[in-house]
Chain A
């Protein structure tokens, strides 16, 4: 089996995870910028983090023959401080020409505040001005439905944004139709407790038909499973999906979306 892991926070993971992912067939890993689990003290912390994502982490992955790509932003969990957000937004263009940068992400909302909305709009503007792909984080749990609606409306309000160049991640049963019906790609995140189990992911795929959908593990510093995508592939097999259909979901679909960036190259 071959697969692409389109959303994993590898800076938080150990080398055994790289080894296991490659052994399971991972052909490329993509790492959106995210919250470190604590608030960074200033813009310099983000500068160092972006250097890590664009320099050190690709080298770490390369030791396992795994191509590493990344996305840049200030995560919505730190977007309440608009002064800091503006400072971080101002340094992102400096990194956009790095060879493993795919776009702006994971931007979005966390608690659906007015400041988060302002910072989301600034990220969308940045992406539009630099012709970047967009990866969107939707809020957790009780905030997801409202946040997804706000995000979809905000993206649709900007005529420069082409929906097929945007993936809205962490969809569940109550949000996936909102995303797909508006023309965006949808990401299904496989988590042990929150978000979606492998069985539910297969339900969603069967419900929606498997077009413009990818699955990811979003492994980070919390309880999460780096091998969640290949395990979901096994679930698809148990449910009677063909090898060709599974390959299309775990390799073909993310390849199609990510290849809209000329920097994304992967060998199958």
Chain B
């Protein structure tokens, strides 16, 4: 598709999601007490958007992923939280 057609199709949706992220960060800033690793992980992943490289979605997903390679000894539970807790 032409770039103009893609903008016509998706710009408003992307704009809405961008404002949602901005509002989310504002909301978290206004919150009291400590946050956790997920906020840092999200901010780090956001940095992928401004690099101007192709495959931004892939790079955001990798930024939020566990980079280790070996199976772990025991399951910490069943769920996932969306960001890897082990990143220093």
Contact = CB atoms under 8 A, between A and B. Distances in A.
A56 B64 CA distance: 41
11 contacts: A80-B74, A111-B76, A111-B77, A140-B80, A141-B83, A142-B64, A142-B83, A142-B84, A199-B13, A239-B9, A240-B1
B72 A111 contact: yes
B47 interface: no
The prevalent SS among residues of B at the interface is loop
B68 interface: yes
Interface residues of A, number: 31
A172 interface: yes
Interface string B44-88: 000000000001011001101111110111111111111110000
Contacts, number: 81
Contact of B78 (A110, A199, A239): A110
A80 B81 contact: no
Interface in A220-245: 238-240
A100 interface: no
A24 interface: no
Contacts of A265: none
B65 A146 contact: yes
A107 to B, nearest CB: 15
Interface stretch (A7-15, A112-120, A123-131): A112-120
A239 B1 contact: yes
A80 B75 contact: yes
A145 B84 CA distance: 11
Nearest to B59: A174
Nearest to B86: A142
Contacts of A142: 64-66, 80-84
A68 interface: no
Interface in A196-213: 199-200, 203
A149 B55 contact: no
Kindly list the 6 A-B residue pairs having the minimum CB-CB distance in the complex, ordered from nearest: A141-B80, A173-B58, A140-B80, A145-B65, A174-B61, A111-B75
Contacts of B65: 142-146, 174
Contact of A146 (B9, B10, B69): B69
Contacts of B69: 146, 149-150
Nearest to A114: B71
Contact of A116 (B13, B75, B80, B81): B75
Contacts of A150: 69, 71
Contact of B61 (A77, A112, A145, A146): A145
A200 B69 CA distance: 27
Interface string A162-192: 0000000000111000000000000000000
